[in-house]
Amino acid sequence: MIDPVYAAADDRYDSGMIYNRCGRSGILLPKISLGWWHNFGDVDPLANSIKKAHYAFDHGINHFDLANNYGPSYGSAEESFGYIMEKSLRPYRDELFISTKAGHDMWPGPYGNHGSRKYLLASLDQSLKRMKIDYVDVFYSHVYDPETPIEETMQALVDAVRSGKALYAGISKYPADKARIAYDYLAARDVPCLLYQGRYNMLNREPETEGILSQAEQNGTGFIAFSPLAQGLLTDRYLNGIPEDSRVARGGYLKKEALTEETIGKIRRLNDMAKRRGQSLAQMSLGWLLYHPTVTSVIIGASSVEQIANNLQVLNSPGFTDEELREIDSIVKG
């Protein structure tokens, strides 16, 4: 039985969450945000989704990151969110920071994918209906589309903001040269880009090596890291095989081919290091990201309340010595 009675914890802003300023904006974001890509679809028990959403909000995680096609099935994570919104979170709408995105495959035919104005604006309308809200806080272009003029995609973001259906605009996974054009286009129309969302974790350094982090910082755009735990690789999840309830076993986006001996070897060494530091590997992985001053927030995924609780402990994480940072680099770079 799903318990519809919910009152948010009175101490939700006093339980240790830290809020970082997002670029050059008025927005503060929690260091830990909750992503709804996996684990919140209609293949997942709704009761667990509700528990995780409530637990997160009760512990100061007030930013939920969604996209049109999160599930599976497509749209169902937004529907789960809409259910929870209606049943329990509605009174807290002004305390919540909700994002959605369009840019990847969503519905059949030529207008349900890519970067056109037609797709983005229709998708935003659909997302709002599913999520049962009047506006999102951030609307992202989910991915750069080389076939659509970037001006068309950016103007759709501008118009989403002007229409009041989104408060801010964001971009995700744009290469640096296209991000530059996007930032300039948006700024020239007084809709500065609030957030760049990119894959960043100890194993994937692209935002550093491609100059995305420094570019966002110079532009006054916040950087929010997705897959901070490399989808679960940077935890103790796969140290002793593939657990039945894991993303790999459940057919998620993380495939068993990723679990090479070389990668598992690195993870073991990182896990030993985390133990020495007195924390879980998940905590060390998140702590490493949040140690970078240019990282505004990390978007964690979680299949249980226990994982969220474990990850929240990163807020008490010690910093890193130069020696420790070098050790991580040498383990990761093999």
- Could you please report the per-residue DSSP string of 246-306? STTTTT-SS-GGG--HHHHHHHHHHHHHHHHTTS-HHHHHHHHHHTSTTEEEEEE--SSHH
Which residues, 6 or more positions from 311, have their beta carbon under 8 angstroms from its beta carbon?
A: 32, 282, 283, 286, 300, 302
**C-alpha 164, offset from chain centre:** 23
Give the integer Cα–Cα distance in Å for 9 and 15.
10
Q: Per CB under 6 A, which of residues 173..202 are in contact with ligand NAP?
A: 173, 197
Interaction between residue 80 and ligand NAP (CB under 6 A): no
- Contacting residue, 31, 130, 237, 266, with ligand NAP by CB under 6 A: 237
Closest approach, Cβ 195 to ligand NAP, in A, equals 10
Structure-token pair, residue 253: 């986006």
Q: Are 219 and 193 in contact (CB under 8 A)?
A: yes
- Contacting residue, 295, 300, 312, 315, with ligand NAP by CB under 6 A: 300
Q: Per CB under 6 A, which of residues 57..76 are in contact with ligand NAP?
A: 65
Alpha-carbon distances, residue 129 vs 176, 178, 233 (angstroms): 33, 31, 34
Question: Helix 261-276 vs helix 322-333: angle between axes, to the nearest 10 degrees?
Answer: 160
Cβ proximity to ligand NAP, 116 vs 303, nearer residue = 303
Closest approach, Cβ 224 to ligand NAP, in A, equals 9
Say how many CA atoms lie within 13 Å of 99 toward its Cβ. 29
Closest approach, Cβ 250 to ligand NAP, in A, equals 7
- Contacting residue, 113, 127, 235, 296, with ligand NAP by CB under 6 A: 235
DSSP character at residue 105: -
Cβ proximity to ligand NAP, 85 vs 230, nearer residue = 230
Closest approach, Cβ 233 to ligand NAP, in A, equals 8
Q: Are 99 and 140 in contact (CB under 8 A)?
A: yes
Interaction between residue 297 and ligand NAP (CB under 6 A): no
- Contacting residue, 301, 312, 314, 328, with ligand NAP by CB under 6 A: 301
Interaction between residue 219 and ligand NAP (CB under 6 A): no
- Contacting residue, 221, 303, 314, 328, with ligand NAP by CB under 6 A: 303
Interaction between residue 49 and ligand NAP (CB under 6 A): no
Contacts with ligand NAP, residue ranges (CB under 6 A): 35-39, 65, 142, 172-173, 197, 226-232, 235-237, 246-247, 282, 299-303, 307, 310-311
